[in-house]
Copies of this chain bind each other. A is one copy, B any other.
């Protein structure tokens, strides 16, 4: 196996750029090493020479952006916690720290905005489903850290309920990233990601904060258990 550092130029960089574009367009499984090498008119063997395997290339593609995104997430969260030390950290700030770093990384790539978000969406959608252990570990660290922050900000909500709500939120975020191009509405074109994320934060804050814990006493029949 070759080094796992991210190249700033040269043929490795060229391959990574091509791979990331194709992965974003068609998904991780739908792109072969031949697709990638032909895209930049290089030889098939180049991928295995530079990355050891297709998997190695995939790992680097993901690491190149998922890494910085997760780091910025944690940095923003800690900065916010310092700022609100003593007082309780508002829910909006946590969610903001979780989603806004997605915006920060988009300009560092040659990809179009939409494609970049799709790439990120695909990364977070798998969430350790066949991804390399390195990536999986980093994702887990981040989500654990945020889960604790959410718990502090929402002390009246039970653990099980909270886990569920966080899952709902992350699901919405993934869907938002991967289906961003479906948000276009008639006359006006696509809303900017800035606007979409702001909308998402409002949505998520409301859903997370809703009431307190859900009464989980299933009364009798399969469907008569609503009391909101």
- Point out residues on A near B: beta carbons under 8 Å: 29-30, 92, 96, 100, 103, 127, 159-161, 163-165, 167-176, 179, 182-183, 185-186, 188, 191-192, 194-196, 198-211, 214, 216, 218, 221-223, 225-226, 228
B203 lies within 8 A of A223 (CB): no
How far apart sit A188 and B223, CA to CA, in the bound complex (Å)?
13
Contact of B206 with A202 in the complex, beta carbons under 8 Å? no
| A205, B227: Cα distance in complex, Å | 13
Are B168 and A226 in contact, with the CB atoms below 8 A? no
Query: Given the complex of chains A and B, what is the CA–CA distance between A226 and B163 in angstroms?
Result: 26
Cα-based distance from A123 to B185 in the complex (angstroms): 25
A-B contact pairs, 9 of them (CB 8 A): A159-B185, A164-B191, A165-B203, A167-B175, A168-B203, A192-B225, A202-B211, A202-B228, A206-B209
